[in-house]
Structure 1
């Protein structure tokens, strides 16, 4: 695989549907045929391959001409361009020939997206093991994600998995108005993020389970995280409830929608407990509802998960956050970097 970040332009020549499923991060979709044209050519190819290619090339020349005017003309002849399609075949060849004729410095990706996908899968079994991890653990609402943001602003290497996954990590963690990436696209974004890190420095990360919404973490990353230095984070319940009210404002405005998401828990937590959640939601007692959810479900569930995945969690350093504001977390992040990155360096020596 090439150094993708060395290119000024990466062109994905596949159909928009293929591009949406997965693509090289930073690539733009300039398809030689759109979704409908791709389907038309594919259907005709089953009975008359030559006619299919003739129609396909006609579509391709028309589309490439439009893309050249709208997207490529802004690049000068010194620009480096990479093109790829599904297997590195006809669609990328059409783009390559056009760009090469014009005089651009252009490469085709050998093996196309299919070869790229194999490479991503291979790399995700290796790359996560090349780093040391500082793992923030703690109950829901204690400010772990906000602390990661503060650490990033303080200059630390931060891997925010929930940001890449576009999900907050629990059954109620969907981000309103935003779709999660596919598993393949999540893998691509994750590997791209690793390429930005320095292996000589530790990565700050939040303890996560195998799945974040509908996407799964690579085994190599989970195993490496569990071998990292764990730091227990906590905050007083009023602070945690307030954080939920800010981060889950859509549920504060519609608590019954929250109960709909949690309905599957009824057999696990019992009808009486769920009925109390229902009463609080219907009466608009959101503060009380959030606290009860944390105390009676999320906290014990998280505790069991942490003991299973990090058996020595109780021996970890502990930090109590008494203020989850941006300013306060900025000060905490500065001191944590000084303390724990030294520890991580010593452990890795």
Structure 2
């Protein structure tokens, strides 16, 4: 019986098997886990209903039949090629009947099988302790700047240059603005976002600076956990800058999916925090109809995003590392900016 669920301990097994239903797995799971459910979503609901509303013995008997059949299927498919030395770790919700039932069968095969005591909840307690209760040991540098200054692309270039980065937008599957939803890619649950974040943090060297985009406390609908937010609020920031015209051109390129989906664009415009008014919405609609998305982006920046950033930056007490001009925001400009940031971050010292 395994008592802990830190990443190093989990990595000591040949496979981490999540025996919960697919719906439970989709909400969150231990990193690297594979989902081999002993009960499907429908079977779990059926057994639970019988347990509560009819008869507990009947529920256990029906559940046992489902579990035996499902584990047999996994043995014939996902686990069919595993050698005799295979060492799996199994967990369910609380380390109870589902994981123990599967572990009993796998142990009878001859595999050295372990069960995570407390199940998924043990992993979740580990995540919560690290991201809510403890202090993170990292020195952050924030990439700040007006909307449209290619902060995410610069961050990706820094990662390619060997810099330590945290891509919050990538982890949260959201581009961090009202228009930031990614088509066909829903945001992970808050718990799964935090699991992904902890894995990213565990891979960093506390002795080296870590670069992160200066997000708000939420990325789309996902909250930045307190331990990271506390470090971000005290971190020095490097501001990226470009002309409004260059930023408008860049936004049209970066948000091509929004440009092509008129319904999504209209919906986003109607959800602006400050109601723009019917006449302005109609004017923006005419710009979209004419295909003049650069003019539309320029108006949105001028009337909404730039004033909001200016208000926020005036109250920002975090130390500044200066301003870096990104020119026309073409690929060569972003490469040059990334090289300069590497130099400046390196000058901060270890």
Give the TM-score, by structure 1 length: 0.92
- CA displacement at 1:269 relative to structure 2: 4.1
Encode CA deviations 1:65-95: one digit per residue, 9 max, x unaligned.
1111211123323333211000000100012
For 2:179 and 2:60, how far apart are their aligned partners in 1?
48
> Structure 1 stretch 96-105 or stretch 211-220: which is displaced more?
96-105
What's the counterpart of residue 132 of structure 1?
Answer: 139
Q: In the alignment, is the contact (CA less than 8 A) between 1:85 and 1:112 conserved in 2?
A: yes
- CA displacement at 1:167 relative to structure 2: 0.4
| SS of corresponding position for 2:146 | coil
Q: What is the root-mean-square deviation in Å for CA atoms of aligned residues? A: 2.0
Unaligned 5+ residue runs, structure 2?
A: none
Q: In the alignment, is the contact (CA less than 8 A) between 1:88 and 1:111 conserved in 2?
A: yes
For residues 142-157 of structure 1, the aligned pairs below 5 Å read 142-157=149-164
1:22 equivalent to 2:28? Answer: yes
For 2:331 and 2:112, how far apart are their aligned partners in 1?
46
Aligned residues: 343
Encode CA deviations 1:93-144: one digit per residue, 9 max, x unaligned.
0121122222223221111112221221111025662111010000111110
What's the counterpart of residue 113 of structure 1?
Answer: 120
1:187 equivalent to 2:194? Answer: yes
Q: In the alignment, is the contact (CA less than 8 A) between 2:19 and 2:90 conserved in 1?
A: yes
> Structure 1 stretch 247-256 or stretch 84-93: which is displaced more?
247-256
Give the TM-score, by structure 2 length: 0.91
Query: Using a 3 Å threshold, how does the CA distance of structure 1 residues 322 and 193 change in structure 2: closer, same or farther?
Result: same
- CA displacement at 1:273 relative to structure 2: 4.0
For 1:7 and 1:306, how far apart are their aligned partners in 2?
48
- CA displacement at 1:251 relative to structure 2: 2.5
What's the counterpart of residue 185 of structure 2?
Answer: 178
What's the counterpart of residue 65 of structure 1?
Answer: 72
Query: Using a 3 Å threshold, how does the CA distance of structure 1 residues 344 and 211 change in structure 2: closer, same or farther?
Result: farther
Query: Using a 3 Å threshold, how does the CA distance of structure 1 residues 329 and 105 change in structure 2: closer, same or farther?
Result: farther
Q: In the alignment, is the contact (CA less than 8 A) between 2:132 and 2:227 conserved in 1?
A: yes
For 1:88 and 1:238, how far apart are their aligned partners in 2?
57
What's the counterpart of residue 165 of structure 1?
Answer: 172
What's the counterpart of residue 236 of structure 2?
Answer: 229
Unaligned 5+ residue runs, structure 1?
A: none
For residues 259-338 of structure 1, the aligned pairs below 5 Å read 259-265=266-272, 267-308=274-315, 310-312=316-318, 315-338=320-343
Query: Using a 3 Å threshold, how does the CA distance of structure 1 residues 199 and 250 change in structure 2: closer, same or farther?
Result: same
Encode CA deviations 1:222-270: one digit per residue, 9 max, x unaligned.
1201211210011223332222122211222244632321213385445
Query: Using a 3 Å threshold, how does the CA distance of structure 1 residues 151 and 63 change in structure 2: closer, same or farther?
Result: same
> Structure 1 stretch 316-325 or stretch 139-148: which is displaced more?
316-325
What's the counterpart of residue 51 of structure 2?
Answer: 45
- CA displacement at 1:271 relative to structure 2: 4.9
Q: In the alignment, is the contact (CA less than 8 A) between 1:16 and 1:29 conserved in 2?
A: yes
Query: Using a 3 Å threshold, how does the CA distance of structure 1 residues 273 and 121 change in structure 2: closer, same or farther?
Result: same
Q: Which has the larger helix fraction? A: 1
For 1:65 and 1:44, how far apart are their aligned partners in 2?
24
